[in-house]
Amino acid sequence: MKKIFYSLLFCPGLLFAQEVDQAAIAKIRKEGMENSKVKEIAHQLTDVSGPRLTNSPGFQRAAEWSVSELKKWGLQNSRIEDWGEFGKGWQVEKSYLAMTKPYYMPFIAIPKAWTSGTKGPITGEVVVVNIQNEEDLKKYADGKLTGKIVLVKGNADTDPSFKPDAVRYTTEDLDKMTNSQPFGQSNFTPEQAERMRTMRSFRSRVDSTMKAQNISLELAGRSGKHGTFFTSNGASYKGDAPLAGPAFEMAPEHAGLVARLIESGIPVTLEAESKTSFFDKKLTTGNVIAEIPGADPKLKDEVVMLGGHLDSWHSATGATDNAAGCTVMLEAVRILQASGLKPKRTIRIALWSGEEQGLHGSRAYVKNTFGDPQSIKLLPAHEKLSAYYNIDNGTGRIRGIYLQGNEGPRAIFEKWLAPFSDIIDHPTVTSRNTGGTDHQSFDALGLPGFQFIQDGIEYGSRTHHTNMDTYERLVMDDLKQMAVVVAAFVYNTAQLDQKIPRKDLPKAKTAAGVGR
């Protein structure tokens, strides 16, 4: 393999000694804080576009609007860049679920993603099944459930919580991050990740059993509290996947009510109707891409990237996951354009598709543009990327940055955070990796990919993948702060004499997934 020498090897002291353009930072601050457009951008991506499952009409509305705005702001090559086949789009046209006996009560529920509709209103008594393991599953494989409305009993924790829903990092929390060591690519331990894979596989087999039984409707109580519930992967979105039967996810309190009534000997009758649409004429999809061309003849072919994922789940309008990140990144490039700054390197924004189903959009982009993370066969553009910056942890303001185990840029990132100490309480740079979002696609190919540390706010308790992830959950002052910090990081990266230092290239993977 051809030897590649990264900027870390070339006098890193020169990189760190380079002064920050304070006049440029002042322009960025002024535009971002005094003329912010985050409210308008967020409104368009959430309220106007609606839910944004990849390949759905809502996603297309958001993508086309973003391309149009980027063109208005003067960015070049603004487009939806096709990356390949994703699968079917899907959206809910009508959704209704209520208990009619022993008394009437409307339920908080939404059809599971990529499931069929009920073909009109249905009504019937509910059967509760308690399927917690493989032995339980075998009990329902003999046709007993045919034609029934079936509630798969959940085990959500609905006890009162004595912790606040909304939180910010304390100084102690951030100190622990600063002094911690990098760990695996996920936020989960290997054991936790394996449990999650097992749970998803088992849930899929439960759904398959329900379909094989030809039930009339499947109901599933999800985790959550106080009417908030966390949605999940529904049926397959693949173009050749068979259609799944109708199914609802519902708030755990309402699932619990039905289960308790039936278990105490009181029959429960429900009525329901769902109408869903599939969009399968075009199975391919794309990412929103646009550029601010570099102004330096020697550096304009090098690229600094920023991005977030545009797709969302369907039970709300995907405000904190991840219209927040896309709002910040769109606002960051708007700030740079409006400030009249002329970056040396080209700045490229990307709003990804298919993140929620496995980082599909960013992984495909990296493979098509920079190289194959399996074989580590690199394309010429791999050498030209300086860094990629990502936002995808909700509406909370930036408190620092994760290095992903790449210690090379620590000193310069600390220097870049310092001028914002008035709007970043206890600026933090940590060696930690953080997972579950699109910077990982870059990191997997040895490219500098970074996610910012953000205050959690209500992300874990109320908004991430929930039916309450709406515009109201956005903290506009935090989005303003994020956009200013991101714009500064991107601009500073574009102005450096050297590219951002890199980690060693990962090893190529064998068929068995072991590095050689």
Per-domain boundaries in the chain: 25-86+283-495, 90-169+178-279
Which residues contact residue 49 at a Cβ distance below 8 angstroms, ignoring those fewer than 6 apart? 58, 59, 61, 62, 65, 317
Please say if the pLDDT value at position 498 is more than 50.
yes
For residues 477 and 465, give the distance between their C-alpha atoms in angstroms, rounded to a whole number. 23
Whether the predicted pLDDT of 211 surpasses 80: no
pTM for the predicted model, two decimal places: 0.92
Other beta carbons within 10 Å of 230: 21
Q: State yes or no: pLDDT of 191 exceeds 70.
A: no
Share the mean pLDDT of the chain.
91
Q: Where are the beta strands (DSSP E) in 313-397?
A: 346-352, 371-372, 377-378, 385-390
Contact of 177 with 110, CB cutoff 8 Å: no
Amino acid at 31: E
The whole-number pLDDT of residue 238 equals 96
* Homologous superfamily assigned to 25-86+283-495: Zn peptidases (3.40.630.10)
Mean pLDDT of 204-216: 77
* 166-175, 207-216, 361-370: least confidently modelled range: 207-216
Asked if pLDDT for residue 366 goes beyond 50, the answer is yes
pLDDT category at 269 given cuts 50, 70, 90 is: very high
Q: In this predicted structure, what is the pLDDT of residue 279?
A: 97
pLDDT at 10 over 80: no
* Distance between CA atoms of residues 294 and 348, nearest Å: 10
Average of pLDDT values for 30-41?
98
Above 80 in pLDDT, residue 209?
no
297 contacts: CB under 8 Å, gap ≥ 6: none
Q: What is the pLDDT of residue 1?
A: 39
pLDDT (average), residues 80-88 = 98
Contacts of 357 (CB under 8 A, 6+ apart): 54, 86, 233, 237
pLDDT confidence of residue 15: 57
What letters, b where the CB count within 10 A reaches 16 and e where it falls short, cover 448-458? bbbbbbbbbbb
Calculate mean pLDDT across residues 73-94: 98
130 or 181, higher pLDDT:
130
Residues in Cβ contact with 324 at an 8 Å cutoff, skipping those fewer than 6 apart = 42, 308, 391, 394, 395, 474, 479
- Residue 27 banded pLDDT, cuts 50, 70, 90: very high
Residue 16's pLDDT is 57
274: pLDDT strictly greater than 70: yes
Which H or E run includes 90?
A: strand 89-101
Q: How far apart are CA 355 and CA 163, in angstroms?
A: 30
pLDDT band at residue 515 under the 50/70/90 scheme? very low
- The predicted model gives 381-391 an average pLDDT of 98
| CATH code matching the domain that covers 90-169+178-279, chosen among 3.50.30.30, 3.30.450.20, 3.40.50.620, 3.10.450.50 | 3.50.30.30
Q: Please choose, from the candidates 238, 88, 209, the residue with its C-alpha nearest in 3D space to the C-alpha of residue 145.
A: 209
Does the structure show a pLDDT above 70 at 247? Answer: yes
CA distance 52 to 343: 32
* Separation of alpha carbons 144 and 147, rounded Å: 9
What residues form DSSP beta bridges with 400?
428, 453
Question: Does the pLDDT at position 474 exceed 70?
Answer: yes
